[in-house]
Amino acid sequence: MVRSLLPLGAALLGAATVLADSPQKCSLTQKCPKEAPCCSQYGECGVGAYCLGGCDPRMSFSLDSCVPEPVCQSKTYKMDSLDRYKDISKYLGDPNEADWVGQGQPLVYNGNVLLTMPPNSVGTVLASTTYMWYGNVKAKLKTSKDRGVVTAFILLSDVKDEIDYEFVGADLSTAQTNYYFQGIPNYDNSVNITDLSDTYNNFHEYEIRWTPDDITWLVDGKVGRIKKRADTWNATSNQWAFPQTPARVQISIWPGGLASNAQGTIDWAGGVIDWNSDEIKKYGYYFATFGEITVECYNASSPPGTNKGVSYYYNDVSATNNTVVDSDKPTVLKSFLATGTDMNKTDGTTTGSATGTASSSVNAIPGGGSTPGGGAQVPGSSNSGSSSSGSSGGSSSNSAPDCATTGFSQSCDSGSGSGGSNPNNAARAIDRTLGASAFAVVIGFAALLLL
């Protein structure tokens, strides 16, 4: 499998903020400044939501700039409602308030959650609000279809350890598996599980069993692949190139075949995406269907793999499993002006809501996090449905975004076929990433679309 230079977790999200000028970039060699100390999942510096899920302590101003990560909770998520979902612009780090945080347009239809991707958007992504430090996770899902459309079910840690299931819409009989250590691109790690029955029309159960010693990928209870830690020793770096740090569950749909993407990514995704396909004409968006998701924590008696406290944090920049601390540190920010080192900071006039918690001079919400209404159909519906909030649950009339907004999922310039962005701007942005460190590509293709 070839996906150009981008590990999946690096490519999934990434969007330009709407709160200020372009944020300062961050990497292993360029840490964030004190005034914007948190390096987000997308390699950009800010405060507030930048300091929550995905915040990389290695690239932040200090290890404690990022907010500690809520510990693992064994739980079954029914995925029949969005009552326990919050947009990134409304979540301040309390896992008791939400099971999932994300961007884009999730909908509820027929007792399942649809992740949607309207024309010229960068799709939808949801991430769990708690972190697995080893354990089992399984998801019942139907993939999206058509060339260029990618569905993903992954584990991704804040330091870019990653374990993947990826599904390319042009091939409905294959699940691609992969893993990465700290975001270092190594595409020799990919193995396909083949001969599946129509992944678009049929639910399958995909499972990841992750221990300190191995990773097992299963489909419908049948082992498809095993990777042992013992086989990942890197003599040059003198460490195990094996995922080993607390990770969020992340599910998504994204446009691998965007015309402005690198050619290797487009080829891997099955070709350039068709924004005028039968799927788009019928429903108004591409979609992937997610049913029940179950997390079982590892429950070690001593590290690594414990979940005895409230949160995880790192005590060393090497960010390996022996540097993870299972602690009682809090995980909730007072406002989007707060950071890991000043979790109670506010502007003196707000109560922690998304409105008014960040000034125009600071970046606090990657991608803006808007979740507007619109008028697209849900699969199987005979009418377009009325406009309603994407964060509410239970109604099949929940609708796709309109084009009157900016943010993660929206770029509605008509007729471009390239995500509504200027391809030349995207090309220049890609050029900026190629010569940098392995992590520099973490801003991903979606960030480039909105430059």
C-beta contacts of 197-202 below 8 A and 24+ residues apart: 197/173, 198/172, 198/173, 199/142, 199/143, 199/167, 199/172, 199/173, 199/174, 199/175, 200/142, 200/143, 200/144, 200/145, 200/169, 200/172, 201/142, 202/142
CA distance 192 to 217: 10
Contacts of 255 (CB under 8 A, 6+ apart): 117, 121, 122, 123, 148, 149, 150, 261, 269, 273, 419
- Among 81, 106, 113, which Cα is nearest to 399's? 106
The reply to whether omega before 7 is within 30° of 0 (cis) is: no
CA distance 346 to 42: 24
Contacts of 364 (CB under 8 A, 6+ apart): 17, 19, 46, 47, 48, 49, 50, 336, 337, 357, 358
The helix or strand, by DSSP H or E, that contains position 102, with its residue range, turns out to be strand 100-103
Contacts of 223 (CB under 8 A, 6+ apart): 216, 217
Which of the residues 44, 69, 166, 207 is marked catalytic?
166
User: Do the beta carbons of residue 345 and residue 335 sit within 8 Å?
Assistant: yes
Q: How far is CA 224 from CA 165, 208, 227, 450, in A?
A: 11, 10, 11, 38
Residue 166 bears catalytic tag: yes
Residue 162 bears catalytic tag: yes
Contacts of 68 (CB under 8 A, 6+ apart): 310, 311, 312, 313, 327, 329, 330, 331, 340
Cα-based angle 121, 123, 126 (whole degrees, multiple of 5): 150
User: Do the beta carbons of residue 191 and residue 215 sit within 8 Å?
Assistant: no
CA distance 116 to 34: 37
Which of the residues 44, 162, 207, 279 is marked catalytic?
162
CA distance 396 to 409: 20
* Residues marked as catalytic: 162, 166
